[in-house]
Structures are given as C-alpha cells and as structure tokens.
Chains A and B, each alone.
Chain A
C-alpha cells in the first residue's frame, strides 16, 4: 500500500542549530514528493517539491530537502533554525493511482527554542 511516514511526532532544536524533519515513503513508480508547513490556526503552505532532477531541492524560508531513492526518504532540512520556524510540518507524496490526490504524513511538530 502507498504510504508516507513521519517517524517523529515532535522535533526540538535550539535556535541557530541545523534542523532535520524526517519523511519516508512507500509508493510504486517515481514519486512526486512535497513538504508543507502549517502555522498555528492557519492553512497549510507549500514549502518545496521534488518531481525529478537534482536530489537536493531548495524551497521557501531557507528550507531544503534531499531525495534519497535508495532509502526512500525525503528529509526536510535547514542549516540554521529560527524561532519563527516553529510550526507543524507535513510530508506528502502523490498517489500514483490518481493524478489529483496526495498521501499525507501525520505531521511533525517542530519546536525551536531560543
């Protein structure tokens, strides 16, 4: 079955340190992968996506993600965390059996401490 896993419910990072939010997937064929961020009481905002090409994808707010086909992972990273990065982060992959649907991870709460 197609699935996306975010193994950490919460990640705590000190401000200025690098951060990683993990995502692994299981889909048939070539994956279309996405990261979204949700700030409190707001809708989700698109951060970045991988469809093809360079395995390192750069997105909004200084975030980047690395596609690793052998490990079926798409971890979100940022070299230096800001307190304002504290939010809920969702990984998603396109359902290969549908052109319109995404399979979503359960989300990871990122807390950046001053």
Chain B
C-alpha cells in the first residue's frame, strides 16, 4: 500500500508562474490536508477537506487554492507564485475526525525565485 504520494518531489519555480502540487491517497480517508513547513514555525495548515466535494481554509490560505473532486486526490494550486511561498509542502489524510491520526506524504520542496 502506497499510502500518500506527492508529486513532484521538488521544484524550482519562477515568481509569477503557476503550479499545482499533486497529492493522492489510497486509504479511502475522508479528510485531507495541505500543510507548509518552515524552519522554526512548525506546520501550518493551508487548506483542508473533510470529504470529497468540500474544502475549507486553514491558517495560511492566501495565495493557494485546492479542489477535492474525488476521495483520493487533493491538488494544491499556486496561481501566481511569490518567493514567500518557498517551503516544504506536506499533504496528509485521516479517516474522518482530527481525533484520528493523520498520515503524511513525503513532501514537496518548492523554491520560488
């Protein structure tokens, strides 16, 4: 079982360009999450989805959008990247509630120049 896969592993992106980070899970989890991890700041939630067809904003949603067309996929889009979006991005999922543990993907390291 793969769990959660993310693509790409890393990317260098010019400022102003758009990009979609892909995330797929095979555990049939209802809830999915996108986090960014920055040194000294821990994990910050960008967007989440509690079930297919619904999404919500997290702590730092500006500049990012998500969609949840089906249970397995939860792509994160940067419409016009800025250098402050340089970070490591993690996708995660959980069965339903936050009382359940979250399972994390391997991450995407994004550099915006």
**Given that A43-B90, A44-B90 are known contacts, is A102 also in contact with B102, CB under 8 Å in the complex?**
yes
How distant is the Cα of A90 from the Cα of B42 in the complex, in angstroms?
Answer: 8
Instruction: Identify the stretch in B66-74, B78-86, B103-111 within 8 Å (CB) of chain A at 4 or more residues.
Output: B103-111
Q: A95 contacts which chain B residues (CB < 8 A)?
A: 98
How distant is the Cα of A43 from the Cα of B104 in the complex, in angstroms?
Answer: 5
- Who on chain A is nearest to B98 by CB? A94
Q: B97 contacts which chain A residues (CB < 8 A)?
A: 99-100
Count contacts on B: residues with CB < 8 A to the other chain: 26
Q: Are B42 and A44 in contact, with the CB atoms below 8 A? A: no
Q: B104 contacts which chain A residues (CB < 8 A)?
A: 36, 43-45
Q: A44 contacts which chain B residues (CB < 8 A)?
A: 43, 90, 92, 102, 104
**Given that A46-B101, A106-B42 are known contacts, is A101 also in contact with B58, CB under 8 Å in the complex?**
yes
How distant is the Cα of A45 from the Cα of B3 in the complex, in angstroms?
Answer: 12
18 A–B contacts, CB within 8 A, in A order = A42-B106, A42-B107, A43-B105, A44-B43, A44-B104, A46-B102, A46-B103, A51-B99, A90-B43, A98-B98, A99-B50, A99-B97, A100-B50, A100-B98, A101-B98, A106-B40, A106-B41, A106-B42
Q: Knowing that A44-B90, A90-B42 are A-B contacts, what are 11 other residue pairs whose CB atoms are under 8 Å apart, sorted by A's residue number? A: A45-B104, A46-B103, A51-B99, A100-B50, A100-B94, A100-B97, A101-B48, A101-B58, A102-B45, A104-B42, A106-B42
Residue numbers of B with Cβ under 8 A of A are: 4, 31, 33, 40-45, 48, 50, 56, 58, 90, 92, 94, 97-99, 101-107
